[in-house]
Structure 1
């Protein structure tokens, strides 16, 4: 896979190293001569250019890229880079780095961003994931399909503790994708039991998150009386 990364700072270089270690071809783009340091990531291609300029992206041959990652420290530059990559070069997948939380709402398909990555949101999600039991923690949002990757640490009083995962009546279009237990990762099968303290990872539509939370931890999330009344009608 060929990946272009706009922004050759610490973040861009770190991403490049990971991708190269995984066997991908990486091009790092930056408009600052001081940032062009090929010795930092010797296996990457380097280009001194402004990713917000169409001519620069043509020079970078973005039409040959499978993914473009806009990872500069400037949200405006990341939005423009993503939009040009998607609309002018037809790049299949774009990832935009969100530097300021107030700008996150802009990083959508309207600006050519398939996936946005917000460092503050990731950090807060990791903190919540580490300390909460019985609450869903949203880890990641998939722009296509209106679905989220969420985590729950299963509480001891869940009605499904000790039961096979296939017996859990999950909401529609919700999937259990992994069980984390005792530093081990388990790919769930219908016969795989879930235990108290398991970290369960789900892909679930946004509108089904509350239902999933009540299902797995009903004592912590009782159904609202007004909702139950509407269902009885």
Structure 2
């Protein structure tokens, strides 16, 4: 990816995406800079060293991905709340969808509309007999009810406190 000739041989000018995923930040950065002159619509790069992320963004790379940072974030999430399992992250990490089991007696027996939505989360699904169900405002929360929740970034600890023991 650091050779213009090789990129042209692979018809880079027809590409909609270019993704640089080597383990070498310098090679990824150089290849992305070279690819920019071919008007590729979206350029994505892997960065190993978090200190290099800003340099990637400064040269106009559309999306910078760090598996190391993602893994550290996931590990921290697990350590902070081992009972919740993350399904996905949304946006730039500004929100995530998690599954957890409601165990807080202050919530059990209440209607969904009394508990959700809040400024920090919204319960988007519940599971009854193994099947996903969209909770209706009047439905009552049962003991041990498994739910999927859209959680605003940085509020998982509070959400866990609200819904779990």
Q: By the TM > 0.5 criterion, same fold? A: yes
Query: 1:214 maps to what in 2?
Result: 158
Question: Would the aligned equivalents of 2:116 and 2:123 in 1 still touch at CA under 8 Å?
Answer: no
Q: What corresponds to 2:134 in structure 1?
A: 189
2:12 is aligned with 1:62: yes
Cα shift at 1:179? 6.2
Q: Name the count of aligned residue pairs.
A: 160
**Partners of 2:52 and 2:127 in 1: CA distance:** 33
Work out the CA distance in 1 between the residues paired with 2:105 and 2:56: 37
5+ residue gaps, structure 1: 1-50, 221-233
Q: Measure how far apart 1:73 and its partner are.
A: 1.5
Question: Which residue of the partner structure matches residue 61 of structure 2?
Answer: 112
CA–CA separation in structure 1 for the residues paired with 2:112 and 2:51: 42
Change (3 A) 1:120 1:110: same
What is the aligned counterpart of 1:79 among 8, 29, 54? 29
| TM-score, with length taken from structure 2 | 0.59
Secondary structure of 2:104's partner? coil
Partner of 1:91: 40
Change in 2 beyond 3 A, CA 1:84/1:198? farther
**Which residue of the partner structure matches residue 168 of structure 1?**
116
CA distance in 1, matches of 2:17, 2:96: 21
| Cα 1:189–1:138 shift into 2, 3 Å | closer
* Structure 1 residue 195: Cα displacement: 6.8
Q: Name stretches of at least 5 consecutive residues in structure 2 with no aligned partner.
A: none
Do the aligned partners of residues 66 and 106 (structure 1) sit closer, same or farther apart at CA in structure 2, a change above 3 Å counting?
same
Residue 153 of structure 2 corresponds to residue 198 of structure 1:
no
* Partner secondary structure for residue 94 of structure 1: strand
1:71 Cα deviation (Å)?
1.1
Change (3 A) 1:72 1:152: same
Higher relative contact order (CA 8 A, sep 6+): 2
